[in-house]
Amino acid sequence: MSFLVIEGLHKRYGATSVFSDIRCNIERGEFVTLLGPSGCGKSTLLRCVAGLTEVDGGAIRLDGQDLLPLPPQKRGIGMVFQSYALFPNMTVAQNVAFGLRMQKVARAERARRVAEVLALVELTELADRYPQQLSGGQSQRVALARSLVTRPRLLLLDEPLSALDARIRKHLREEIRRIQRELGLTTLFVTHDQEEALTLSDRILLMDAGRIVQDGSAEALYTQPASAFAAGFIGHYNLLDAETASRLLGRPVSGRVAIRPEAIRLGSGPLSGEIRGRSLLGNVIRYRVASRGVELSVDVLNRSAADLLLSGRTVALEIAPEAIRELEG
């Protein structure tokens, strides 16, 4: 049996259902991301696992133990919040020691374990600071240390990086992954950021309107989106309806078609198109190309300025057949 099992979970507020019939299995040591737009129920699901929100039906089992009758403090779970939620009246060391103090761990043992976990998040020298004196990135590392010190069975991360600026976010992302691997910690991570999900996760659960719509590895999710929603949420897919797709591909297509922008090659191929515009994304240039009356996004590696294609130019283009993904529904 899997380490964390969620079965038929329901949650509603009044008449509106937040999610219904959620089921998933998470293996020991796995890093799983709940990815979805805001309001899809992913944070509520996480809070249900933590015990901070009541569920209306279903079961959550951790290591064979039924979690639902337990209050949050008895679940053996660590959690990091988007707002850090550090205790302002305590120093960094006291914040981190909080869980151990509640468990009545002896003072000496407590100090040893706090020092250990502060070293793990590289904050040893800030132990005596108060939360107001920390930057956002430091605060979130303290919050991470606070949730790790009790050696939880399961770590829950609720959009921990969303309030941080881009550079800190990347750095902390790698830190979280390193620590998670070092400790072999089973982790459930919630985000609305597809890049975070793709870079961090062993597995991604894509959620939409209270349902898990796709469950798979980052590669599978990226290359084989199961639905128009998945294709629209992950990457920057060109989404075409059946009629437009048939016109572009020159063969009848029954459903909607998704084509990844980097799977279209410019410069040679059977199709011809006109450059309509471009935007520079850094290492990638995204062109808008019109071919057979269909406007497509095409991503090209930004190798040199001399290769830039100007608007109005006509180019040949080719769509890799294996990248054409026909979607059901």
Partner 1 sequence: MRRAESGPARLYHRLVVWALFLILLLPLAGTLLYSLATSWSATVLPSGLTLKWYLALWSDARFLTAFGHSLVVCVGALLLSVLLILPLLFVVHYHFPRLDGLMNVLILLPFAIPPVVSSVGLLQLYAGGPLPLTGTPWILIGCYFTVALPFMYRAISNNLLAINLRDLMDAARVHGASTWQAAFWVVLPNLRKGVVVALFLSFSFLLGEFVFANLLVGTRYETLQVYLNNMRNSSGHFNSALVISYFFFVLVCTWIANHLNRDLP
- Interface with partner 1 by CB under 8 A: which residues? 47, 50-52, 71-73, 75, 77-79, 81, 83, 85-89, 98-99, 102-103, 130, 132-133, 143, 146-147, 150, 156
Least distance from partner 1 to the Cβ atom of residue 83, Å = 5
If the CB atoms of residues 36 and 51 are measured against partner 1, the closer one turns out to be 51
Least distance from partner 1 to the Cβ atom of residue 89, Å = 4
SS3 assignment, position 287: strand
If the CB atoms of residues 3 and 98 are measured against partner 1, the closer one turns out to be 98
If the CB atoms of residues 20 and 94 are measured against partner 1, the closer one turns out to be 94
Rounded distance between C-alpha atoms, residue 222 and residue 210, angstroms = 21
If the CB atoms of residues 26 and 49 are measured against partner 1, the closer one turns out to be 49
Instruction: Find how far residue 140's CA is from the centre of its chain.
Output: 17
Helix (H) or strand (E) segment spanning residue 275: strand 264-280
If the CB atoms of residues 15 and 310 are measured against partner 1, the closer one turns out to be 15
Q: Which two tokens stand for residue 120?
A: 């793990």
Rounded distance between C-alpha atoms, residue 141 and residue 122, angstroms = 8
**Strands 154-158 and 77-80, how do they pair?**
parallel
Q: Up-side HSE of residue 187: CA atoms within 13 Å toward CB?
A: 29
Rounded distance between C-alpha atoms, residue 139 and residue 143, angstroms = 6
Indicate the Cα dihedral angle 148, 154, 156, 161, nearest 10°.
Answer: 50
Least distance from partner 1 to the Cβ atom of residue 259, Å = 42
Rounded distance between C-alpha atoms, residue 42 and residue 37, angstroms = 9
Least distance from partner 1 to the Cβ atom of residue 2, Å = 22
The answer to whether the Cα torsion of 6, 157, 214, 219 is positive or negative is: negative
If the CB atoms of residues 100 and 263 are measured against partner 1, the closer one turns out to be 100
Least distance from partner 1 to the Cβ atom of residue 26, Å = 18
Q: Going edge to edge, which strands form the sheet with 65-66?
A: 16-26, 4-13, 57-62, 65-66
If the CB atoms of residues 113 and 203 are measured against partner 1, the closer one turns out to be 113
Least distance from partner 1 to the Cβ atom of residue 149, Å = 9
Cα-based angle 98, 111, 142 (whole degrees, multiple of 5):
50
Indicate the Cα dihedral angle 100, 103, 104, 106, nearest 10°.
Answer: -40
If the CB atoms of residues 52 and 309 are measured against partner 1, the closer one turns out to be 52
Residue 257's alpha-carbon distances to 240, 249, 300, 318, in angstroms, are: 5, 10, 21, 16
Least distance from partner 1 to the Cβ atom of residue 87, Å = 5
Least distance from partner 1 to the Cβ atom of residue 263, Å = 43
